[in-house]
Amino acid sequence: MQPLNFSANRRLTTLDGTPASCLGLAAGPKQDPRCVGRAFAGGINYFFFYGPGNTSFIEELAALVPRQREQIIVATGSGSRRVAGLRAARRKLTALLGIGLIDVFFIEYVHPGDDPDVIFAKNGVLDELRRWKQSGWVRFVGATAHDRSLARRLAADPRHHWVNPILYKREDAEATWREIRAPLLMMTGEESDYLKRLGADGTIAALRAVHPGVELASIAGAGHMLHIEQPGLVAPLIEAFLEAH
């Protein structure tokens, strides 16, 4: 196999040059881990998971990787905005999978409330990931952004060429939330800084303004993907909420 130019190659392919499958497999709660091998046997080569909490998915993927590494695209990421946090996430994820190279690494949930310097400035998050590409630690850099103007800026940035195509408008979401007539439970992870990055839109007052009766619960030891990271804490709260209503 010819060495890849990690910085210049923008087409998402496996290490052996096969294009990414039109369908991928993402880790999910209560997922039968056998679906990893079965998905690959069925022609899927793109596998995504949010973080180390997806234990069974990662274990099955790690078992498949030694035999099929050049035919698999491993995609993961981190919501950290600290260089040290990103580095720790990469080290942990590569150790769990037993690989030295991640195909796609996402900066998760980039929001207009983020400090632009943290994302775009010299020695910011994108600069850190650019260095990873130059060092051969990742092949593609990704970002999820629920804002049109921010997605455009990310797409135009030379350090980044893989964006989330989903458009999210706060005003549209709020209009939908106001139409909710059923009881509502909102759970947040104590270790997630997502609501903080929303600024005034992420405060309890802002949430109650669009749904005054919302019930709030905080999940210890969880980030944004709390249902995956702490299912044993999340499930009882949902069951109790449903029984109460």
From 126, 156, 186, the end of a domain falls on: 156
Together in a domain, 223 and 116: no
Q: Are strands 73-78 and 102-110 parallel, antiparallel or unpaired?
A: parallel
**For residue 52, with 0-12 CB atoms within 10 Å meaning exposed, 13-18 middle and 19 or more buried, which class applies?**
middle
Residue 155's pLDDT is what? 66
Among 95-104, 160-169, 189-198, 232-241, where is mean pLDDT lowest? 160-169
33 and 150 within one domain: yes
pLDDT at 84 over 80: yes
58 occurs within a structural domain:
yes
Q: What percent of the chain has pLDDT over 90?
A: 34
pLDDT in tens, 4-54: 343 344 578 998 889 999 899 999 877 888 999 999 999 999 999 887 878
Residues 215 and 141 in one domain: no
Listed residues 156, 187, 219: the one ending a domain:
156
Question: Do 38 and 99 lie in a common domain?
Answer: yes
Could you tell me if residue 162 is inside a domain? no
Q: How confident is residue 157, by pLDDT bands cut at 50, 70 and 90?
A: low
pTM of the model: 0.60
Query: When comparing pLDDT for 228 and 40, which is higher?
Result: 40
- The pair of three-digit structure tokens given for residue 8, joined into one six-digit string: 């210049």
Give the pLDDT score at 164: 43
Compute CA distances 102 → 136, 163, 222, whole Å.
Answer: 9, 17, 24
Asked if 124 and 182 sit in the same domain, the reply is no
Q: What is the mean pLDDT of residues 127-139?
A: 88
- The more confident residue out of 72 and 119 is 72
Q: Are residues 176 and 107 in the same domain?
A: no
Q: Does a structural domain hold residue 117? A: yes
Residue 226: give its domain's CATH number.
3.40.50.1820
- Identify whether 218 is part of a domain: yes
Q: Is residue 133 part of a domain?
A: yes
Most confident by average pLDDT, 145-159, 173-187, 197-211:
173-187
Residue 158: pLDDT band (50, 70, 90) is low
Residue at 8 is within a domain: no
238 pLDDT higher than 60: yes
Indicate whether 146 and 200 sit together in one domain.
no
Residues 40 and 106 in one domain: yes
Q: Do residues 213 and 127 share a domain? A: no
Q: What is the pLDDT of residues 95-117, one digit of tens each?
A: 999 998 999 998 888 877 778 88
DSSP 72-83: -EEEEEE---SH
Q: What does pLDDT average to over the chain?
A: 83
Last residue of a domain, one of 156, 181, 205: 156
In a domain, 4, yes or no: no
Q: Are residues 112 and 191 in the same domain?
A: no
Structural domain count, the chain: 2
Q: Residue 130: which domain range?
A: 25-156
- Which CATH number belongs to the domain containing residue 90 in this structure? 3.20.20.100
User: DSSP string of 87-114?
Assistant: HHHHHHHHHHHT-S-EEEEEEEEE-TTS
Per-residue pLDDT at 3: 37
Examine the domain organization and report whether 110 and 52 are in the same domain: yes
pLDDT at residue 167 greater than cutoff 80: no
Helix (H) or strand (E) holding 127, with range, is helix 125-135
186 or 196, higher pLDDT: 186
Residue 30 in domain: yes
Q: How confident is the model at residue 159 (pLDDT cuts 50, 70, 90)?
A: low
What pLDDT score does 127 carry? 87
